[in-house]
Structure 1
Amino acid sequence: MNDVKIPLEDAGERLLPTWQHVCVVEHLHRYAVAASFATGKRVLDIASGEGYGSNLLANVAERVLGVDRSLAAAVNACHKYGRANVQFVQGDATSIPCPDKTFDLVVSFETIEHLYAQEAMLTEIERVLTKDGLLLISSPDKKYHGDKDGYINDFHVKELYEKEFLDLVGSRFPYVTHMRQQVLTCSALCPAPIDGPLPLFAGTFEGTSLLTRLSRPSFHVVLAGHTPTPAIPGSLFDGTDLAEAYAAHQGQEILNLKAYVEALKAQLAAKDAGLPTDRPEKVSLPSEQEAGLCSVCPGEKIKAGLARLYRTLQGVFRHV
């Protein structure tokens, strides 16, 4: 597989390291938690996608196998991340290409909502796990991820509510540790070094209080097994560097769009003045890829709107 290259397209659902969006923080946070359970373990990463997560786990695991149903994803991950203790293969979550009782830890983030055969996926995971192996799996909460704002993700075929997800996993694994995940606008106040749990406060100018649970979780993360599962300590993921990069990226997109509009105005003015608009010196517009508008993350409505506007302007420009 390492001798073949297949283009990996950005279809808008598979997370790529080039994305600049809050969902990057969500994904990296989950893999950071997964890494805490992966030390010295044999790990399976189902729906490994671009491969960045399997690569992170391989930093601490004995070995990692990334499985994705996309051949292009598996091939590209091999080229980008392949090393002695991490491999990538094409395969399906409902028919995992591995022997029974092969892995100590199975990780599956943002996968189950893409499948109708969710029970079959869990059956396969149960099959490839060792007797005391663990499953770390996540699912978007249909209530807050979709119902609340009416957003429909065309890639998701069966989203679950919190109870549905917990019941589904619990039907296969008797021991379950449940965590909620929610992106917050947050200020961290910590000792140096950080030496214990971090209480979570919330409030307004009218008053503040100590929270006992996340109120609007976008995702649920479950650690499950056939033996008692350990607690997962609450944690924060510092996305400051990612946010700064995202802000710079968005600023550049705005500049690109402004330049695009100015070029369009110049073309329209030339047309109104009776000048030919198909001259060689006609302004050349960058492609959507060059303008940085192609990495549209699901649910990122503002950025998607900018991309649509860009494509509309591009179409108008061709006919000026």
Structure 2
Amino acid sequence: MAEGEGFPKTSTIVDEALATPAPTRRRAAAQKAAAPAAPVPAEGIVVRGYTLGESETPFDGERLVLGKSSVESEFEHLHRYIFASELVAGLRVVDIASGEGYGSDILAQRARSVIGVDIDEAVVDAARRRYQRRNLSFEVGACEAIPLQPRSVDAVVSFETIEHIEDHGAFFDEVRRVMRRDGLFIISTPDHAVYNSELAEANEYHVHELSREQFVALLRTQFKNVTLLGQRVSFGSFLIGDDATRFEVLSMEREGKVLRAKPLGQSAVYWIAVASDGPLPALPSGLYQGDLPPNPISSILGGVRERDEEIVSLRQKLASAAVEAAALEAARQRIDELNASFDAARADAEQR
């Protein structure tokens, strides 16, 4: 389908989000939410952030900006949104803390409609200019004051948001207000212990981080059904059978002089939760393989080895130069001594 083909105009989408859905529409959406997740189509999901030129959004050290943030951060965020796009196919979605807008654009390729909401007006304006689809719009708003009517969306997506606000209850109240009663809530947050163990210092932008247990407990106070997926960026190998019904991910961790293989969930840096009062769809587990060169580990390690060899060579040259410099300095001092001796002899001769 061509971009925008078959979708209502943006104004129509916004108008629908301002009106309470009809009961029949709610029942149809409920059936959609309980269905298995729609797999990524053969033609794939387009990430347009790299093809629309340099982003207008400056990198502030926290908000992801494609092409300006770390490769690891891009892997994490893009994987989450592509995963969520499988769950919201055909639904009306609000993306809370949508930032630069790339994630809302990914969701809009599968969803019936998407409204991205962010508190930063300049970022919202830039997203409106950059990501344009007939079923996609962007609005200025806060997590605690989402600018939508009650029961106006089928799904709420919010990645890496909750740790930035102190009052989690107020945020969840707003999610429940704008989402239909059996709607789908897709949310992620870093694991407080694991995330901070890998940082040199605490993230200054995070005001209220949660452990896995706290995150799950909070969600279960609001929703009848909650399931969790762990996420970590790593290099590795994967084996998948054509008829695989089980997908096991192991993390190799060094313990002294040995490596121990553990289930990934024990060392996940981030948790993605899917919650609802209605039945949850079957959730896909999978691997997001980024845009890397062939044999990336070998390429990286090869580059490191070349760098180390160059460093050794430069240090040897520096040591040789230091020896030469010392010899030159000794020669200069000897010349100074001889000049001083000559001057003294000449002065003595003149006095005679």
* Residues 37-56 of structure 1: pairs in structure 2 closer than 5 A: 37-56=87-106
- 1:10 alignment partner, one of 59, 65, 68: 59
Q: Is the 8 A contact 1:177 1:231 kept in 2?
A: no
Amino acid in structure 1 at the alignment position of 2:280: T
- Matches of 2:197 and 2:251 in 1, distance apart? 24
- Matches of 1:202 and 1:142 in 2, distance apart? 19
3-state SS of paired residue (1:189)? coil
Q: Is the 8 A contact 1:54 1:65 kept in 2?
A: yes
Aligned to 2:202: 152
By how many angstroms is 1:197 displaced?
3.8
- Matches of 1:183 and 1:30 in 2, distance apart? 12
Amino acid in structure 1 at the alignment position of 2:159: F
- 1:221 alignment partner, one of 245, 250, 272: 272
Amino acid in structure 2 at the alignment position of 1:234: S
1:49–1:223 CA distance, 2 compared to 1 (3 A): same
2:96 equivalent to 1:62 = no
* Residues 289-308 of structure 1: pairs in structure 2 closer than 5 A: none
CA distances 1:13-71 after superposition (whole Å, capped 9, x unpaired) = 11011134211111111111101111111010000000000000000111000000000
Deviates more, 1:230-239 or 1:170-179: 230-239
2:195 equivalent to 1:176 = no
Q: Which has the larger radius of gyration?
A: 2
- Matches of 1:237 and 1:196 in 2, distance apart? 19
By how many angstroms is 1:117 displaced?
1.4
By how many angstroms is 1:239 displaced?
1.5
1:149–1:14 CA distance, 2 compared to 1 (3 A): closer
- Matches of 2:86 and 2:247 in 1, distance apart? 18
- 1:25 alignment partner, one of 68, 75, 83: 75
Amino acid in structure 2 at the alignment position of 1:224: A
By how many angstroms is 1:80 displaced?
0.4
* Residues 99-178 of structure 1: pairs in structure 2 closer than 5 A: 99-147=149-197, 149=199, 151-178=201-228
Q: Is the 8 A contact 2:95 2:157 kept in 1?
A: yes
**Matched residues, percent identical?**
34
3-state SS of paired residue (1:26)? helix
By how many angstroms is 1:82 displaced?
2.0
3-state SS of paired residue (1:229)? coil
Amino acid in structure 1 at the alignment position of 2:144: T
Amino acid in structure 1 at the alignment position of 2:287: L
1:242–1:76 CA distance, 2 compared to 1 (3 A): farther
Aligned to 1:199: 248
- Matches of 2:243 and 2:113 in 1, distance apart? 30
Q: Is the 8 A contact 1:133 1:225 kept in 2?
A: yes
Aligned to 1:234: 285
Structure 1 length normalisation: TM-score? Answer: 0.69
By how many angstroms is 1:236 displaced?
1.1
* Residues 69-84 of structure 1: pairs in structure 2 closer than 5 A: 69-84=119-134
Q: Is the 8 A contact 2:251 2:264 kept in 1?
A: no
- Matches of 1:141 and 1:194 in 2, distance apart? 33
Aligned to 1:85: 135
3-state SS of paired residue (1:132)? strand
Q: Is the 8 A contact 2:194 2:269 kept in 1?
A: yes
3-state SS of paired residue (1:158)? coil
By how many angstroms is 1:172 displaced?
1.1
- Matches of 2:217 and 2:195 in 1, distance apart? 19
3-state SS of paired residue (1:241)? coil
Aligned to 2:335: none
Residue segments in structure 1 that go unaligned for 5+ positions in a row: 1-5, 255-320
Amino acid in structure 1 at the alignment position of 2:176: E
- Matches of 1:165 and 1:93 in 2, distance apart? 17
Aligned to 1:291: none
Q: Could you say what the CA RMSD is over the residues aligned between the two structures, in angstroms?
A: 2.9
By how many angstroms is 1:213 displaced?
4.5
Q: Is the 8 A contact 2:232 2:269 kept in 1?
A: yes
Residue segments in structure 2 that go unaligned for 5+ positions in a row: 1-54, 308-352
Q: Is the 8 A contact 2:83 2:284 kept in 1?
A: no
- Matches of 1:131 and 1:168 in 2, distance apart? 18
Q: Is the 8 A contact 2:95 2:158 kept in 1?
A: yes
